[in-house]
């Protein structure tokens, strides 16, 4: 590999936000390690995982940050958002209150970042169809009105988990390459 090629490294920070227990940590562990934990207990502190995706023959790395329980105390600090190129805003389709709080989380991202941050609304736990409290269309409508991407996922059965992260990573890559070119 020439020096020039070696220099072309892409590393983007992505944050996961949303209410407690919507499945943020499990989405990340499912994506990065293909693991699910039914009794996950939040550890306090910040955790991140690095994942690589190949886009147009280039290795693109995403450093994906999990709040690791800080949101329980409304203590997600500006340092958490600093330098983020993308955000997954997660709610639980079986708990309406977590959907009602999406607006609050959006205000928070908006106040910490500019409009180029790729934002995706994620309705997690879509395996819990029997206890659904938030319709698919409601999620779609909210995302459309706020200019967000939208997807429903299940960290439990893996539905759309890879797609959710990779759509955000691809969008970031496209945003950045548009700026560079
Ligand atoms: P966090 O606080 O947002 O990081 O949420 P966790 O990842 O710790 O998950 C909270 C709880 O929801 C745990 O008991 C998980 O096992 C459960 N959970 C997470 N994702 C899913 C999912 O997709 N489906 C179901 N049924 N349960 C989930």
ipTM: 0.99
pLDDT score, position 78:
84
Residue 37 C-beta-side C-alpha neighbours within 13 Å: 14
> φ and ψ at 93, to 5 degrees?
-65, -15
pLDDT score, position 173:
93
Rounded Cα gap, residues 11 and 60, in angstroms? 6
pLDDT score, position 45:
58
Tens of pLDDT along 153-179?
999 999 999 999 999 999 999 988 877
Using the atom order of ligand 1, give the atom closest to the CA of residue 20: 2
Of all residues in the chain, the percent with pLDDT exceeding 70 is 89
Query: What is the average pLDDT score of the chain?
Result: 89
* Cα–ligand 1 centroid distance for 41 (angstroms): 10
Rounded Cα gap, residues 135 and 125, in angstroms? 12
Decide: 128 in ligand 1 pocket, CB within 6 A.
yes
Whether residue 87 is predicted with pLDDT greater than 70 in this model: the reply is: yes
* Cα–ligand 1 centroid distance for 180 (angstroms): 38
pLDDT score, position 79:
85
pLDDT score, position 177:
84
pTM of the shown model: 0.92
């Amino acid at each position: 590999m020439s020096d020039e090629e070696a220099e072309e490294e892409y590393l983007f920070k992505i944050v996961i936000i949303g209410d407690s227990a919507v499945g943020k940590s499990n989405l990340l562990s499912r994506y990065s390690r293909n693991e699910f934990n039914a009794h996950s207990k939040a550890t306090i502190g910040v955790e991140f995982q690095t994942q690589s995706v190949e886009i147009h023959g280039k290795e693109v790395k995403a450093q994906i940050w999990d709040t690791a329980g800080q949101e329980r105390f409304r203590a997600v600090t500006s340092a958490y958002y600093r330098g983020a190129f993308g955000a997954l805003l997660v709610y639980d389709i079986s708990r309406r209150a977590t959907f009602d709080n999406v607006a609050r989380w959006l205000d928070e991202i908006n106040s910490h970042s500019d409009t180029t941050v790729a934002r995706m609304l994620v309705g997690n736990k879509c395996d819990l169809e029997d206890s659904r409290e938030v319709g698919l269309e409601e999620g779609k409508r909210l995302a459309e009105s706020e200019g967000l991407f939208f997807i429903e996922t299940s960290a439990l059965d893996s539905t759309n988990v890879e797609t959710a992260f990779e759509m955000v990573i691809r969008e970031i890559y496209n945003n950045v390459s548009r700026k560079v070119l």
